[in-house]
């Protein structure tokens, strides 16, 4: 079973907005899936049976996001300038949750395990937030000449955003590889849950 940060495609809304560049904050949503069992090994097996199935196989947890933009494109001197770009970001964490009460020893081991998994996923959330801030930085003020209809600028922006998205995915994969390798943090969390 692998823990994967699965980043769904970026939804790039190209809507118009007005006014000065606004401060923004991401929102977070925690979704859970039910696991059952009274012992740590039963819980772990239930994660394997009921956990999300992604392209790399079953996972314990994952982080994804929903990203839309409010943008204002301004025709200037025959070209086009992106005057405003405000992200609307929701970071979504998918985590296991026991469906019933647990015996005290199992509960104690579960609490340590799930706290570690949440901390791991929050790192992925920070990577997503960092990517969005970089997108914002390369977007605002972007200018394309000979684009009075503000069409070429959208193509240019898409190219720049694709590179930033690939960087984030690569960074996320490298982090997972370290965390899940023998002796890595997630590997130790699983061993701590199952073996005590």
Domain map of the chain by residue range? 27-195
Q: Residue 80 to residues 12, 89, 149: CA-CA distances in angstroms?
A: 18, 25, 8
DSSP state letter for 147 = -
pLDDT in tens, 28-52: 999 999 999 999 999 999 999 998 8
Within 10 A of 152 (CB to CB), how many other CB atoms are there? 15
Checking if the pLDDT of 19 tops 80, the result is no
Q: What is the residue whose two structure tokens read 């240019």?
A: 156
Q: Which residues pair with 33 in a beta bridge?
A: 96
Beta strands 53-54 and 143-144 are: unpaired
- The kind and range of the H/E element at 65 are strand 62-76
Average pLDDT over the chain reads: 87
- What stretches of the chain show up as alpha helix (H) in DSSP? 40-50, 104-139, 152-180, 185-195
Distance of alpha carbon 196 from alpha carbon 188, whole angstroms: 10
pLDDT for residue 56? 67
Of 87, 84, 43, 68, nearest to 196 (Cα)? 43
Give pTM, 2 decimals. Answer: 0.84
- Report percent pLDDT > 90 for the chain: 81
pLDDT band at 6; cut points 50, 70, 90: very low
pLDDT band at 13; cut points 50, 70, 90: very low
Which burial class, exposed, middle or buried, applies to 162 when counting CB atoms under 10 A from its CB (0-12, 13-18, 19+)? exposed
Question: In degrees, to the nearest 5, what angle opens at C-alpha 18 toward C-alphas 15 and 19?
Answer: 145
Q: What is the residue whose two structure tokens read 């819980």?
A: 43
Checking if the pLDDT of 24 tops 60, the result is yes
pLDDT for residue 76? 93
pLDDT in tens, 64-102: 999 999 999 999 999 999 999 999 999 999 999 999 999
Distance of alpha carbon 13 from alpha carbon 18, whole angstroms: 15
For residues 147-168, average pLDDT: 93
Checking if the pLDDT of 9 tops 80, the result is no
Checking if the pLDDT of 20 tops 60, the result is no
Of 85, 81, 100, nearest to 43 (Cα)? 100
């Amino acid at each position: 079973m692998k823990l994967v940060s699965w980043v769904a495609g970026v939804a790039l809304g190209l809507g118009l907005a007005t006014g000065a560049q606004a401060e923004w904050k991401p929102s977070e949503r925690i979704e859970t899936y039910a696991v059952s069992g009274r012992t740590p090994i039963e819980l772990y097996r239930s994660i394997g049976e009921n956990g999300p199935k992604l392209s790399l196989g079953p996972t314990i947890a994952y982080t994804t996001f929903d990203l839309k933009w409010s943008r204002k494109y301004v025709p200037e001197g025959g070209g086009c300038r992106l005057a405003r770009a405000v992200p609307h970001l929701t970071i979504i964490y998918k985590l296991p949750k026991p469906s019933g009460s647990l015996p005290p020893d199992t509960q104690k081991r579960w609490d340590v395990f799930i706290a570690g998994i949440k901390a791991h996923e929050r790192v992925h959330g920070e990577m997503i937030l960092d990517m969005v801030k970089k997108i914002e930085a390369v977007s605002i003020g972007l200018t394309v000449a000979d684009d009075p209809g503000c069409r070429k600028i959208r193509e240019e922006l898409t190219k720049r955003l694709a590179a930033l998205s690939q960087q984030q995915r690569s960074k996320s994969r490298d982090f997972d590889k370290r965390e899940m390798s023998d002796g890595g943090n997630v590997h130790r969390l699983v061993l701590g849950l199952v073996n005590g």
